Amino acid sequence: MTPDVRAMATLMAWFSPAFPVGAFAFSHGLETATADGVVVGEAGLGGWIAALMTAGGAWTDAVLLAAAYKASAAGRDMSLMEVRALAYALAPSQERLRETLAQGDAFGRALAQGWPHLVSPNIPLGAVAYPVVAGAAAAAIQAPLPHALTAYLNGFAGNAIAVGIRLGLCGQSGGVRVLSGLGDVIGRTVQRAAISTLDDLGGCAFFADMASMRHETLAPRIFAS
């Protein structure tokens, strides 16, 4: 098995629904948007995820992942810690902060179980934002950055679609169509993020951020964010 194939197989495992990061528990504000009638049906679900990819939380995650990857690959521990701190500051709500820290912690603990040889001072563990620890881990296995970004964003999309299905926005077939329709969006986001710097951080998916804030008082609710 060539190094690239081995790295890709590892990325597919890390960002698959079977990897125990607890992503199924979080809706990233989608539950509130659905309850408010802002996101409706299959088309609405696809548009919501696309907006997050291009100008929302998923884009921020992609830039943070790329920055953590580059800092870790270059052995710049101080830069990696700066990215870690920045990820804290960028969380727009308490629930979104809890979401990324919980998944980052779970990812690190699973990594330590299955890939203990990777756990080193170069991979921050504990209360670390998910894209930061994911980027550092991808650098540790020398996976090409575009591959790591593709796997991460595809996992993000898959989880959001699963949330949409549980909320009744579409069925399984609709979810497949949404995932297929996101291919170009994921590809363009990967291309942008792979050459990004921290200066490229920023978004305008304000309703998604507001939805995550308002989710704290949503009742009843299924998801933790």
* Domain positions in the chain: 26-216
Residue 7 confidence (pLDDT):
87
pLDDT tens digits along 4-53: 788 889 999 999 988 999 888 988 899 998 988 899 999 999 999 999 99
Residue 67 confidence (pLDDT):
96
Is the pLDDT at 120 greater than 90? The verdict is no
Query: With bands split at pLDDT 50, 70 and 90, how would you rate the model's confidence at 75?
Result: confident
Is the pLDDT at 119 greater than 90? The verdict is no
Is the pLDDT at 121 greater than 70? The verdict is no
DSSP letters along 183-223, please? HHHHHHHHHHHHT--GGG-----HHHHHHHHHGGG-SS-SS
Amino acid letter, residue 217: T
> Quick one: what percent of the chain has pLDDT higher than 70?
96
Query: With bands split at pLDDT 50, 70 and 90, how would you rate the model's confidence at 3?
Result: low
Provide the mean pLDDT of the chain: 90
Which pTM does this prediction carry? 0.94
**CB 75, CB 84: distance < 8 Å:** no
Measured in Å, how far apart are the chain's first and last C-alpha atoms?
40
| CA triple 79-81-82, angle to 5 deg | 65
pLDDT tens digits along 143-183: 999 999 999 999 999 999 999 999 999 999 999 999 999 99
CATH topology (fold) of 26-216:
Urease accessory protein UreF (1.10.4190)
Residue 212 confidence (pLDDT):
81
Residue 43 confidence (pLDDT):
96
Query: With bands split at pLDDT 50, 70 and 90, how would you rate the model's confidence at 1?
Result: low
Distance, in Å, from the CA atom of 152 to the CA atom of 23, rounded to the nearest integer, reads: 12
